[in-house]
Amino acid sequence: MKKKYGLMILSSLLLVQIFYYYNVVSAQRKDVKVPESALVQTTANDKEVKKTMATTKITEENRLFVRNEAAKYYDLNPDYMGWLNIADTAIDYPVVRGEDNDYYLKHNFYKEEDVLGTIFMDYRNAGMGLDKHTILYGHYAKYGQMFKDLDRYLSEDFLSEHSEFIFSDPFTKRTYKIFSVHPSDANVDFINVTFEDNEFSNFIDTLKNESIFSLDTPVSAEDNILTLVTCNYDVNDGRLFIHAVEITE
């Protein structure tokens, strides 16, 4: 009998340890391992190279090869699609795209199992600025990682001061300006990526009407838009949608 109770106690302790690890330690790690930011400042050597290239007649003999900055991220993960940065937030992450929208929910940039996942593009998107509607997803993490800081856009003051953000693909630094912010249920209508005839124009109108703030950011059917999506716990099975239009010059 004593042996039976002893085994029951040990089993209970083991279950408590497993619960603690997955719900406290793993699920809310305060450290997130990501590559060094792609948005680095130009160095003095870079400036000298550019100056030399601008003032020197390029021939086959003196042609300079400058490796694309994105190449090092492709070396780490061929699923790399770009880098997302929102000023004054923790959102400064590489973006990947998987074969579906499930894999990177549980794997980090290095393809290691990780409850925080990584920021990923909808698998239906082509990337490189070719899509009418690009969608980026990220977990809402309690201690500020991934897309937790998106909920700061529920403050109109924060939105007015941070209405623009950068998503750089491997060849172009792209700037986006927010035109709609709204929490909602997990409505698939907000993540459409293919449109026919005037559907895209109607889609934009819908997103504007859903916004909890009245924003005067101009956006038309000729523009490309990008949506950031994370969880929102103010709504049952809720999501927070941040919609922005590309304004790259």
Where are the extended beta strands (E) located within 133-237?
Answer: 133-137, 164-168, 173-185, 225-232
Q: Break the chain into its structural domains and give their ranges.
A: 31-246
> What is the second-level CATH architecture of the domain 31-246?
Beta Barrel (2.40)
**Integer Cα distance of 25 and 19 in angstroms:** 9
**Integer Cα distance of 110 and 145 in angstroms:** 16
Residue 192 · residue 171 · CB < 8 Å? no
Residue 50 pLDDT greater than 80, yes or no: no
* Catalytic residue numbers, as ranges: 139, 231
Mean pLDDT of 73-91: 96
**Integer Cα distance of 221 and 25 in angstroms:** 45
Residue 239 · residue 182 · CB < 8 Å? no
Residue 238 · residue 228 · CB < 8 Å? no
Residue 11 pLDDT greater than 70, yes or no: no
Quote the mean pLDDT of the chain. Answer: 84
pLDDT of residue 67: 74
pLDDT of residue 237: 85
Burial 37-74 (b: 16+ CB within 10 A, else e): ebeeeeeeeeeeeeeeeeeeeeeeeeeeeeeeebeebe
Query: What are the φ/ψ torsions at residue 72 (nearest 5 degrees)?
Result: -65, -30
Residue 23 pLDDT greater than 60, yes or no: no
